[in-house]
Structure 1
Amino acid sequence: MDPRGRTGQAQLAFDELGTPLRDTTFVVFDLETTGTKPGPHGITEIGAVKVRGGQVLGEFATLVDPGAPIPPQIVSLTGITQAMLYDAPRIDRVLPAFLEFIGGSVLVAHNSGFDVSFMRAACEGHGYAWPKPTVVCTVRLARRVIPREEARSYRLSSLAMLLGSRTRPTHRALDDARATVDVLHALLERVGNLGVHTVEELVDYLPEVTGAQRRKRHLAHDLPSRPGVYLFRGPGDEVLYVGTAKDLRRRVRQYFTGSESRGRIREMVALAERVDSVECAHSLEAEIRELRLIAAHRPMYNRRSKNPHHAWWIGLTEEAFPRLSVIRAPRPGVLGPFRSQADARTAADTLAGASGLRTCTQRISPTSASGTPCVLAELGRCGAPCAGRQSVEDYSPAVDAVTELIAGRDAGPLRGAAAYLARLAEGQHFEQAARHRDDLAALVRAVGRAHRQAALASITELVAASPDGAGGWEFAIIRYGRLASAGVARRGVPPMPIVEHLVAAAETVLPGPGPLHGAAPEEVGVLLRWLARPGVRLVRTSRPWAEPAAVAGWAGWLDLAAGARSLERATN
């Protein structure tokens, strides 16, 4: 039987029917704040109402001490004074209870972007993970449902009056949340008459979607509900866009229902004629294949790097008095990779200053070592740290120090730079010290990243396993910093035979030049992040996986530097 009805729309599969609105738990919430800029301490009041099927299940209301004065105009608007907040809890004490209250619910707010941004900033500022719930904005919903000739304004007070809300907004959180509940129910009645009956249909209905965009939903019909990579192809079979998904069919369907609001992606969808897919064993394989397919096809609508091997490196020049040079082609003994030439240049200058290497591009021969090593120094036109060197022998300790740092054997230049930073602070040269601190922190992170990536890329074969969350395992076979094979062992399946099969079928990888042995920096970075996830285990390696210890002890210093920088931003 033809699964299409008279309207010509495809019948939905059972797993696509979605959650009926009448069975959905909504938490409608509102905030009062100290201003318009989100921050970890900007909330003064939270009000929330939990509803399902038109029935109120519970309410949440509390004042919050923001730890800062409330602007007079805000006091005038909300009526919340400093005295009212005298014994109110701080936001870090309120967040656990609020997050528990909204757990598993669809969040609703009037102008949700404002309220959600404050809650997200509060969570980030106090070490709580924002749960990323589905969010419905009653302003957007009202604009879609109520024409302008019926509603002169989409403000909460106007909509509450228009739709007959039992509660009038008062610029107090709980009253406004209760009013928004009545507005929501009235709007859901209207969209129900338009055929919107599930949460998924409601989310899809909110954005403006053209008929042509909706008609392309059939491009997702034959895709599997599996993790993998999808490729949008244009009229000439060219690849327009590459992406990854845990569920290929569901993710691609979202491009045709309005969940995608980016203008360039909507333009891409308008051009698309076909969607291909590559099923993957798990999300790591999908992410790696995405990188490789972007590099191979260079799709015009992808913004990720289309040249994965094009990174920047810094290394010593080959001359009597070497300096650090920024280069594109990696070779043995260089430091990197860096994402941009500017980042590489800053790191080179910081390292040169810390070690005493010269930074000028003057060509120097050994014959000039009888006096000073540089014509510019002889003329008194050079103030670089190397200007006082009298011979190649005097200069070589600086070269050796940089070589040892790049190799991971010693962090002498970093210690010297930290000592210089301490002298600047003691001398109360605070602005100069702050700039030097930030440059040194960037250098320490770059050296640490380079050491970690090089250590992984030097291993001939590494087999790792990650729990899949359902009692099984996800496997990755990594050779010279590249994913050579991937697979899974579901719960109850003996894992080691699967591992042996994956190793036997893995791609042959030959090492290339440079610290990463020819691997793409982005791919090595993805593998490192996966290996660092909680629960990942090493099954076996061709040799022990060990990272240089030169910068391992700098984690605490980096935390202090990051804290100081955050404090400066908060006070400026």
Structure 2
Amino acid sequence: MGAHAYQPTIDELGTPLIATTFVVVDLETTGGGEDAAITEIGAVKVCGGVVIGEFQTLVDPLTHIPALIQVLTGITNNMVAGAPSLGSVLPSFLEFVGDAVLVAHNAGFDIGFLKRACAAHEMPWPGNPVIDTVGLARSVMLRDEVPNHKLATLARHFSSSTTPNHRALSDARATVDVLHGLIARVGNLGVHSVEDLKEFTRRVPKQRRARRTWADALPERPGVYFFYDLVDGDHGPQRRILYVGKSVNVRRRVRTYFTAAETRRRMDEMVRVATGVDAVTCATPLEAEVLELRMIDAHSPRYNRRSKFPRRVQWLKLTTEIYPRLSVVRTVADDGAHYFGPFRSRDTIDRVVSAVQDAFPIRRCSDRLSLRRTLSPCALAGMGRCLSPCDHSISPEDYGQIVEGVRVALSGDIGSVVAAARERMTRLVATERFEEAADLRTRLEAWTSASVRHHRLAGLARCAQLVAASRSDEGWEIHVVRHGRLAAAALARPGDIPQEVARQAVAVAETVPTPAAPAPAGTIEEAERIAAWLERPGVRLIEIDGDWSWPLHAGLADGDLARILLG
């Protein structure tokens, strides 16, 4: 990354503290438990160090105030007897707060009461940002400055004009002075926005905060970013990629790794280990998604967990033996066999195979059968669940008709498998064998979802070239897809001719050899990302070279599957 002058954007600077409206709130209650009730609300609204409004009201808790609480706060049962109810106070309080940042001393207590009050009165909690002056003080104040972080202690330290006395408005006024004192303390530490203040409250390590300048030279464009460290190589230090990510705005996303927004422990470790971060700009968000997958596949970064082993899939193969069977394989070969998949889970494969075998009595053994050798039939043959080709009880021609039914089902007609399941489901329900019926339903769900997935990917894999475009705020996003692999991406900005940009993209697109059907030329996950983009509303097809088809039904809802099974 080359060093150059950089002017942060307004979004990157966050919300400046000087322009932020804060509402500092304090509550008095009948106790500390969740079943306690609010007796008083006090709040002070400030902006730029100036008080612009105050809110105070007693609240009828509709319950007895314990004597100890009456002594502590000075709020008695007689004082709240004629006070308004919480339900009538909340709307005016929330209106007073508006979209301001809420501040409280030990915010979990006060904000927790307010959230429960809103829920009890069926009012939506506005979700304002919250600053806790206790957490901020713990991060800022040194041990030799204050013995503890109680409000009274901090108010004395910052020479507050108001002494806290366990009355809501007085305590809120004192908290305002504490807040201003803490903000003045952190101003010299580079804290100039609400976001920075929250980082201090959450105690983001200083070392991590200091590294946010790494993002300064990164682009505000879609792309892929990668953190790295340096290791010794044959020709000097070399980059070792630790983590790969993608974003529609790389600079903004990378900055979050150095703030309180990033809470994953392994990411904190990764940032500490890394010696830098770099990025590759992409024309479109889809290109960024695909490049991220390819980089993770190529480098296997130690801190990436998802998409790390994209080639660990399995397929069902309908073999080309004289008596074909279903076999589980790891790759698709150009051998004339019929393949179905892919699958990432062996359990899913077993469910799909069971669903097919429920409809077609295809053999389940893995023996090599021939017309010159006769084997003893297995137990399944004796149960009538196998046609026993091992002892030639069925001819290759008749068995071939069964296999053709399997091939048709795997090729797109799921009706035969569903029909067989419906008949069996009816019998199971009639005899109240509900556990077996549930297992059957699970197998059918696996079968239908696997069929949809297979045909989505197979449709892309068959298509030699597909050019499509989708409109975005930046212009027309154009992609060239060849056999399920992203071969080129381009962006036609306002003023450009999209068709011309598409032609240029096709001209420079990657040459993609025809893969063994039905596997796509790229990884399965890449093809799925492309398929998801093609399914988005507003995507327009510009050119198709070859056949491209899509499953008629993208899936079955639970109610639909139950209706189909039970007729």
The answer to whether the superposition gives a TM-score over 0.5 is: yes
Matches within 5 A, 1:290-309: 290-309=292-311
Aligned position for 1:489: 492
The reply on whether 1:500 has 2:506 as its aligned counterpart is no
Q: How big is the shift at 1:486? A: 0.8
Once the two structures are superposed, residues 331-360 of structure 1 have per-residue CA deviations (whole angstroms, 9 ceiling, x without a partner) of 452111112333223322332233333334
Q: How big is the shift at 1:243? A: 0.8
SS in 2 for 1:242: strand
Aligned position for 2:64: none
CA contact (8 A) 2:361 2:387 kept: no
Aligned position for 2:473: 469
Q: How big is the shift at 1:528? A: 0.8
* Letter of the 2:524 counterpart: P
Aligned position for 1:68: none
How many residue pairs get aligned? The number is: 478
Name the CA distance, whole Å, in 2 between partners of 1:405 and 1:188. 71
Picking from 246, 251, 254, the partner of 1:252 is 254
Name the CA distance, whole Å, in 2 between partners of 1:287 and 1:219. 22
Name the CA distance, whole Å, in 2 between partners of 1:216 and 1:468. 33
Picking from 238, 241, 244, the partner of 1:242 is 244
CA contact (8 A) 1:227 1:286 kept: yes
Q: How big is the shift at 1:247? A: 1.9
Once the two structures are superposed, residues 228-254 of structure 1 have per-residue CA deviations (whole angstroms, 9 ceiling, x without a partner) of 111212121111111112222222222
- Closer, same or farther in 2 for the Cα pair 1:25/1:450, shift >3 Å? farther
Matches within 5 A, 1:94-109: none
- Closer, same or farther in 2 for the Cα pair 1:167/1:254, shift >3 Å? farther
Name the CA distance, whole Å, in 2 between partners of 1:530 and 1:205. 40
CA contact (8 A) 1:209 1:258 kept: yes
Picking from 12, 15, 18, the partner of 1:19 is 15
Aligned position for 2:386: 386
Once the two structures are superposed, residues 8-65 of structure 1 have per-residue CA deviations (whole angstroms, 9 ceiling, x without a partner) of xx99635332222454578999xxxxxxxxxxxxxxxxx9x9978476799xxxxxxx
CA contact (8 A) 1:314 1:334 kept: yes
Name the CA distance, whole Å, in 1 between partners of 2:198 and 2:176. 14
The reply on whether 1:281 has 2:283 as its aligned counterpart is yes
SS in 2 for 1:299: coil
Name the CA distance, whole Å, in 2 between partners of 1:245 and 1:131. 28
- Closer, same or farther in 2 for the Cα pair 1:476/1:278, shift >3 Å? same
The reply on whether 1:459 has 2:460 as its aligned counterpart is no
- Closer, same or farther in 2 for the Cα pair 1:199/1:413, shift >3 Å? same
Name the CA distance, whole Å, in 1 between partners of 2:534 and 2:433. 42
* Letter of the 1:343 counterpart: T
Aligned position for 1:449: 453
Aligned position for 2:208: 213
The alignment's TM-score, normalised by the length of structure 1, stands at: 0.68
CA contact (8 A) 2:140 2:186 kept: no
Name the CA distance, whole Å, in 2 between partners of 1:233 and 1:108. 39
**Unaligned ranges ≥5, structure 2:** 26-40, 56-86, 88-93, 120-124, 232-238
- Closer, same or farther in 2 for the Cα pair 1:414/1:167, shift >3 Å? farther
SS in 2 for 1:385: coil
- Closer, same or farther in 2 for the Cα pair 1:543/1:20, shift >3 Å? same
Name the CA distance, whole Å, in 2 between partners of 1:374 and 1:302. 50
Picking from 443, 449, 470, the partner of 1:439 is 443
SS in 1 for 2:292: helix
Q: How big is the shift at 1:147? A: 8.4
- Closer, same or farther in 2 for the Cα pair 1:544/1:260, shift >3 Å? same
Aligned position for 1:193: 185
SS in 1 for 2:469: strand
The reply on whether 1:513 has 2:510 as its aligned counterpart is no
* Letter of the 2:458 counterpart: A
Name the CA distance, whole Å, in 1 between partners of 2:372 and 2:442. 39
Query: Cα RMSD (Å) of the superposition?
Result: 4.9
Name the CA distance, whole Å, in 2 between partners of 1:251 and 1:401. 52
* Letter of the 2:359 counterpart: A
Name the CA distance, whole Å, in 2 between partners of 1:28 and 1:557. 49
- Closer, same or farther in 2 for the Cα pair 1:216/1:530, shift >3 Å? same
- Closer, same or farther in 2 for the Cα pair 1:410/1:204, shift >3 Å? same
CA contact (8 A) 1:205 1:257 kept: no
The reply on whether 1:417 has 2:421 as its aligned counterpart is yes
Name the CA distance, whole Å, in 2 between partners of 1:254 and 1:167. 40
SS in 1 for 2:255: helix
CA contact (8 A) 2:468 2:479 kept: yes
CA contact (8 A) 2:23 2:103 kept: yes
The alignment's TM-score, normalised by the length of structure 2, stands at: 0.69
CA contact (8 A) 1:362 1:374 kept: no
Q: How big is the shift at 1:479? A: 0.9
Matches within 5 A, 1:307-346: 307-331=309-333, 332-346=337-351
Once the two structures are superposed, residues 145-193 of structure 1 have per-residue CA deviations (whole angstroms, 9 ceiling, x without a partner) of 6789979899x9x999x99999989xxxxx9xxx999979965762453
Aligned position for 2:433: 429
Aligned position for 2:362: 357
Name the CA distance, whole Å, in 2 between partners of 1:428 and 1:188. 70
The reply on whether 1:226 has 2:221 as its aligned counterpart is yes
Picking from 388, 402, 407, the partner of 1:398 is 402
Matches within 5 A, 1:85-234: 110=107, 144=139, 187=179, 190-195=182-187, 196-234=191-229
The reply on whether 1:408 has 2:412 as its aligned counterpart is yes
Name the CA distance, whole Å, in 1 between partners of 2:417 and 2:433. 21
Q: Percent identity?
A: 38
Aligned position for 2:272: 270
**Unaligned ranges ≥5, structure 1:** 5-9, 30-46, 59-87, 89-97, 123-129, 170-174, 565-572
* Letter of the 2:439 counterpart: R
* Letter of the 2:349 counterpart: A
SS in 1 for 2:266: helix
